Copies of this chain bind each other. A is one copy, B any other.
């Protein structure tokens, strides 16, 4: 009777636990339903022995305790010494007892400062599981990884895992403004409630830190790259300090964006010239003031001389002058400067794709050691697909940091299910040929190619104050996957999807297999229904919501979609070959050759690099026009497939999330058709050709699509 009630209780609590599961992200710690496995786990997890007494250590213990309890309904005892067998022993190297220390000392050679070891050991002839690391945070990472073994129903017999992050800075960039709006944010508004800080510590700050630590993210830039200098005033630094205090035990450092003109705006100076002594002193003092409050402050992220942001060029200086001046200010405290390479000049309209390279490549080797140049994955701006940014193969003497976008500015906001690690992986695996074949972007980023000590991956956050953090339940996977790839850029996106699904939803194979397939395909689907064959930047203006290939009236040429697709009666595409803007020359010769030649250029990037006739024969035998139209249709069909897959998952998923994803897929299907119809109707004006068989006829007219307005689209 009681056990029946227990089951009923769990059932009802979960069904009335409104939005609860969504909120818990991949840290659900659901009860393990495989009774054999649960019983095996129970037998091996008979208590926790926790050495160490730091905040981080307490968190690690608590996570283990709660995680195990929730998954196994078995509250493990927390003990102060090792007795009996089958205990989980946790503690950093320094606090382990000497016997254990000695027995695994060679294991520590396998990990770096943030790495962890999970190992089955014998202590006084009894088996135990040890989770350790060189530092406390390594233990915490180990604990989350161990819990993930349970969450994904892996064996915990004879464990011997040693793992370390492959990059130093694994960081979220929040484009959050001080009024709590989030630029390109589609999951509500900023988590940072500046008005109630520093005295009110929202539980979400803790849960945010927890989620990040669980995937190894170790830094956060709290503020928008389009920066406000006020964040650097004492009134705000006091609040930043409070957040830093929350995040510290989770191994997360706080960074801020530095508005280059801050010395004028809040410092009362007449200039922000980086060569001016007052200016550099102002920044030195500001850094000292910040580090006094936050001794482990990470440093500054800077967007300078880009899209209206002030920078060194306002004073006739260059990026190196600006970055190095700031680097000197933070170097005494161990801080870094992340200087963004996302620049394009309105005075050089030849090819926006070439500009970051043109401006930054000559500076290779000229930055201070504590400067890292942050480069977007592609040369335009977070499109559904871009070839890798040529800078990754062009600055061997400069630490380069990847900037991925997790928020879906150009990929359907938080309504479209698009699994981004697939996109990230495509970029990371791209071969730069910087030092011959096999020198992938991942190797540039993780420092293994250039032996740089400063490495990093940044992700523009998709997190907001929506109950489920990311707006779309599956957008949580993009946060998760970003973290996992920042930890190890060589991970496979499919493996990550598998992990995430198991931790977030269910271990049932009948659920995992189709839904993982759906996630993997989702990225190609969005490319197909938005920008197939290398099309790019054809979204509507400002808010970037929906198609707008017709837009041609914006003041700067490179803001207009027509600049990018260049459709005319002869064909479509941006000629970046030698015969065009010669952007291909920014790549290593091996790649340049491939991209430059219409015949060898990968078809997925065709219209990125070439202007191609409507009758051009694709590899599948279709003309470009027909092939393009069929791709748009294929994207729509893929979303329909995704709906079909999801509709069969009802029995594996809680009602709330099932219903949410179902509604969102319906919107995605609608909008995929909108993209298809609007783009094909528009391009048809140039091709003058009928839609091929298999492509559905648009119901609305081009004029209808052109008339749509979205005055309050979010994130704008």
| Chain A interface residues toward B at CB < 8 A | 2-3, 5-6, 8-10, 12-13, 15-20, 23-24, 66, 69-70, 73, 75, 178-180, 186, 188-189, 194-196, 199-201, 203-204, 207, 230, 413-415, 465-467, 656, 660, 663-664, 666-667, 670, 710-714
Smallest CB separation, A503 vs chain B (Å): 15
The answer to whether A667 touches B2 (Cβ under 8 A) is no
The answer to whether A18 touches B10 (Cβ under 8 A) is no
Contacts A195-B713, A200-B667, A465-B466 known; list 9 others, CB within 8 Å: A12-B69, A12-B75, A16-B66, A18-B203, A188-B465, A195-B710, A195-B714, A199-B663, A201-B663
- A711–B204 CA distance with the chains assembled, in angstroms: 24
What residues of B have a CB within 8 angstroms of the CB of A230 in the complex? 711-712
- A164–B8 CA distance with the chains assembled, in angstroms: 36
What residues of B have a CB within 8 angstroms of the CB of A195 in the complex? 186, 413, 710, 712-714
The answer to whether A712 touches B178 (Cβ under 8 A) is yes
12 example contacts (A-B, Cβ-Cβ < 8 A) are as follows: A5-B6, A8-B75, A13-B13, A18-B203, A19-B23, A19-B204, A178-B711, A180-B189, A196-B414, A200-B660, A200-B667, A203-B467
What residues of B have a CB within 8 angstroms of the CB of A16 in the complex? 66, 70
The answer to whether B194 touches A712 (Cβ under 8 A) is yes
The answer to whether B75 touches A19 (Cβ under 8 A) is no
The verdict on A23 contacting B18 (CB below 8 Å), with A199-B666, A713-B195 known, is yes
The verdict on A24 contacting B13 (CB below 8 Å), with A2-B2, A73-B5, A713-B195 known, is no
Smallest CB separation, A119 vs chain B (Å): 28
Closest to A657 in B: B203
Closest to A668 in B: B199
Smallest CB separation, A643 vs chain B (Å): 13
The answer to whether A9 touches B6 (Cβ under 8 A) is yes
The answer to whether B17 touches A199 (Cβ under 8 A) is no
What residues of B have a CB within 8 angstroms of the CB of A188 in the complex? 188-189, 465
The answer to whether A19 touches B203 (Cβ under 8 A) is yes
Number of copies: 2
The verdict on A200 contacting B18 (CB below 8 Å), with A9-B10, A180-B714 known, is no
What residues of B have a CB within 8 angstroms of the CB of A660 in the complex? 200, 203
What residues of B have a CB within 8 angstroms of the CB of A15 in the complex? 66
What residues of B have a CB within 8 angstroms of the CB of A663 in the complex? 199-201
What residues of B have a CB within 8 angstroms of the CB of A69 in the complex? 8, 12
Contact partner of A415 (CB less than 8 A), chosen from B20, B200, B667, is B200
What residues of B have a CB within 8 angstroms of the CB of A203 in the complex? 18-19, 467, 656, 660
What residues of B have a CB within 8 angstroms of the CB of A186 in the complex? 195
Q: Most B CB atoms within 10 A — which of A9, A178, A179, A466? A: A9
What residues of B have a CB within 8 angstroms of the CB of A20 in the complex? 17, 20
The answer to whether B199 touches A667 (Cβ under 8 A) is yes
- A415–B200 CA distance with the chains assembled, in angstroms: 9
Report, nearest first, the 6 A-B pairs whose CB atoms are least far apart: A178-B712, A199-B667, A189-B189, A179-B712, A200-B663, A2-B2
Q: Most B CB atoms within 10 A — which of A69, A178, A186? A: A69
What residues of B have a CB within 8 angstroms of the CB of A670 in the complex? 199
- A9–B19 CA distance with the chains assembled, in angstroms: 19
What residues of B have a CB within 8 angstroms of the CB of A180 in the complex? 189, 712, 714
Closest to A8 in B: B75
- A203–B19 CA distance with the chains assembled, in angstroms: 7
The answer to whether A12 touches B70 (Cβ under 8 A) is yes
What residues of B have a CB within 8 angstroms of the CB of A413 in the complex? 195
What residues of B have a CB within 8 angstroms of the CB of A415 in the complex? 196, 200
- A710–B2 CA distance with the chains assembled, in angstroms: 56
Closest to A10 in B: B9
Contact partner of A207 (CB less than 8 A), chosen from B9, B18, B710, is B18
Contact partner of A17 (CB less than 8 A), chosen from B8, B17, B194, is B17
Smallest CB separation, A642 vs chain B (Å): 16
The answer to whether A73 touches B9 (Cβ under 8 A) is yes
Q: Most B CB atoms within 10 A — which of A17, A73, A195, A713? A: A195
- A20–B17 CA distance with the chains assembled, in angstroms: 7
- A714–B714 CA distance with the chains assembled, in angstroms: 18
Closest to A543 in B: B195
- A615–B408 CA distance with the chains assembled, in angstroms: 66
Closest to A195 in B: B714
What residues of B have a CB within 8 angstroms of the CB of A2 in the complex? 2-3, 6
- A24–B23 CA distance with the chains assembled, in angstroms: 14
Q: Most B CB atoms within 10 A — which of A16, A75, A201, A667? A: A16
Contact partner of A467 (CB less than 8 A), chosen from B201, B467, B710, B714, is B467
What residues of B have a CB within 8 angstroms of the CB of A414 in the complex? 196
